[in-house]
Amino acid sequence: MTQPMGQIIKMVEPGTVALQSYEVPDPGPGEVLLRMVRANVCGSELHYWAGRNPQVRAGCLGHEGIGRVEALGQGVATDNAGSPLSPGDLVTFTYFVVCQRCPSCRRGLFHLCENGYQWWRKQPEESPHFHATFATHYLVHRDQHVYRVPTGISDYVAASANCAVAQMLFGLDTVDPRPGDVLVIQGLGGLGLYAVAMAKHRAARVVAVDLVEGRLDLAQRFGADVVVNRAKESDENLRDAVNALSGGYGADAVIDVTGVPESLTSGLALAHPGGQVLEIGNVSPGRVAELDPGALTRRAVRLQFLIRYPPWYLHKALAFLAETAHQFPYAALESASYSLDEVQAALDHSARREVVRASIVM
Ligand SMILES: [Zn+2]
Ligand SMILES: [Zn+2]
């Protein structure tokens, strides 16, 4: 019997994609073969697309997404939360591996697994070909987590769970705001808008910051107390807005998901003495931001950086989305969908910020 063929997108060079065809692999022991249903365009794809990451100049694209189980490898009967898995089930998965053997994993830093991208970094030419989500199929490897998508979550939102939502939930837990705390969220793409939802869910007060009016409107619909358009307002105006909400003291925490190095500099100025700044959005090395270590030391600002998340956060992310499905206007996030043939347009439109988080529907 001939093996069925599937398609996967390859970024040939920054700004250009090609659709390639390969035989769909059978899942090996511990693996799960998925037929992709939907994949969202994340900010990190846009960094590669713009050629801003010198380490990723060509390769697979797409890591957010959901798929239906096509075939289960030997020994797989449940997802990583113990729910039974069968062909046809809608699932999501960590886009990275947690090997449990490397120095980071051995220290319990599962989000920093040194082998995290061992599959995702492969070129589509390399077997088993289906390493990324802009494709008809996806192979979940033994050291990835897979979770069933609960009912009541739209496909679009479920497709954000394995990057934007899980990442932000880990970020919020890291900052751990108390009710009434003042949080500044800089950058209102997918990550930032989920951050607004999670901060409001914890009864924090939110100052939401972006350059795009439509995104600020969305932040307001998600419950942001104050929105600041950085295209129009100065550093001083932003500080005034934070001071107005915090009685002149400053922000308890600033979460930066802009992907712009200078935003870290301006964010650091907003935290109160002993306050926190969490950087998540800047993922491309080699771009620098100015810091004033003396001023920051005097205010004892706590600066942290995060990448990825412990794999069970994906399960928590799905639970959060199911629990808050009626509390937040998630449907408003869905701005544009494209077919696999239209990935080039999806990336171009996203790069120009014409859409918040474009979706590829297979
Ligand atoms: Zn590891
Ligand atoms: Zn992502």
Distance 282 CA to ligand 2 centre (A): 12
Residue 36 lies in a domain: yes
**Three-state DSSP class for residue 287:** coil
**Closest-lying ligand to the alpha carbon of 310?**
1
Structural tokens at position 144: 């990835």
The pLDDT value given to residue 190: 86
Distance 126 CA to ligand 1 centre (A): 22
Distance 244 CA to ligand 2 centre (A): 33
- Contact call for residues 35 and 339 (beta carbons, < 8 A): no
Same domain, 270 and 238: yes
Q: Which domain covers residue 81, as residue numbers?
A: 5-149+329-361
**Closest-lying ligand to the alpha carbon of 115?**
1
Same domain, 30 and 123: yes
Residue 349 lies in a domain: yes
Residue 315 lies in a domain: no
**Which residue type is seen at 73?**
G
Same domain, 18 and 133: yes
Residue 157 lies in a domain: no
Cα 235 from Cα 228, distance rounded (Å): 10
Q: pLDDT for 236-265, tens place per residue?
A: 999 999 999 999 999 999 999 998 999 999
Q: Is 59 left (phi over 0), alpha (psi -120 to 50) or beta?
A: left
Residue 313 lies in a domain: no
All residues with CB under 5 Å from ion ligand 2: 42, 44, 163
**Closest-lying ligand to the alpha carbon of 120?**
2
Cα 360 from Cα 40, distance rounded (Å): 6
- Contact call for residues 51 and 44 (beta carbons, < 8 A): no
Distance 187 CA to ligand 1 centre (A): 30
Distance 164 CA to ligand 2 centre (A): 6
Distance 36 CA to ligand 2 centre (A): 17
Same domain, 173 and 138: no
Distance 142 CA to ligand 1 centre (A): 13
Same domain, 131 and 209: no
Instruction: CATH number of the domain at 199, please.
Output: 3.40.50.720
Distance 62 CA to ligand 1 centre (A): 22
Distance 4 CA to ligand 1 centre (A): 33
Same domain, 114 and 215: no
Predicted TM-score (pTM) of this structure: 0.94
Task: Say how many C-beta atoms besides its own lie within 10 A of residue 112's C-beta.
Answer: 17
The pLDDT value given to residue 357: 77
Same domain, 135 and 254: no
**Closest-lying ligand to the alpha carbon of 45?**
2
Specify the number of domains making up the chain: 2
Cα distances from 1 to residues 4, 25, in angstroms, run 9, 13
**Closest-lying ligand to the alpha carbon of 47?**
2
Task: Say how many C-beta atoms besides its own lie within 10 A of residue 102's C-beta.
Answer: 17
Same domain, 128 and 210: no
Same domain, 226 and 289: yes
Side by side, the strands of the sheet bearing 226-229 are: 226-229, 205-210, 182-186, 251-256, 271-279, 302-305
Same domain, 76 and 140: yes
**Closest-lying ligand to the alpha carbon of 259?**
2
Cα distances from 88 to residues 35, 37, 72, 115, 172, in angstroms, run 9, 11, 10, 29, 33
Tokens 């063929």, residue located: 5
Residue 310 lies in a domain: no
Same domain, 112 and 209: no
The pLDDT value given to residue 282: 87
Distance 165 CA to ligand 2 centre (A): 9
Distance 177 CA to ligand 2 centre (A): 23
Residue 199 lies in a domain: yes
Distance 295 CA to ligand 2 centre (A): 33
Instruction: CATH number of the domain at 142, please.
Output: 3.90.180.10
Structural tokens at position 254: 């600033």
pLDDT of the chain along its 362 residues, tens only? Answer: 678 999 999 999 999 999 999 999 999 999 999 999 999 998 888 889 998 887 788 999 999 999 999 999 999 999 999 999 999 999 999 999 999 999 999 999 999 999 999 998 899 999 999 999 999 999 999 999 999 999 999 999 999 999 999 999 999 999 999 999 999 999 998 899 999 999 999 999 999 999 999 999 999 999 999 999 999 999 999 999 999 999 999 999 999 999 899 999 999 999 999 999 999 988 888 889 999 999 999 999 999 999 999 999 999 999 999 999 999 999 998 879 999 999 999 999 999 888 877 999 99
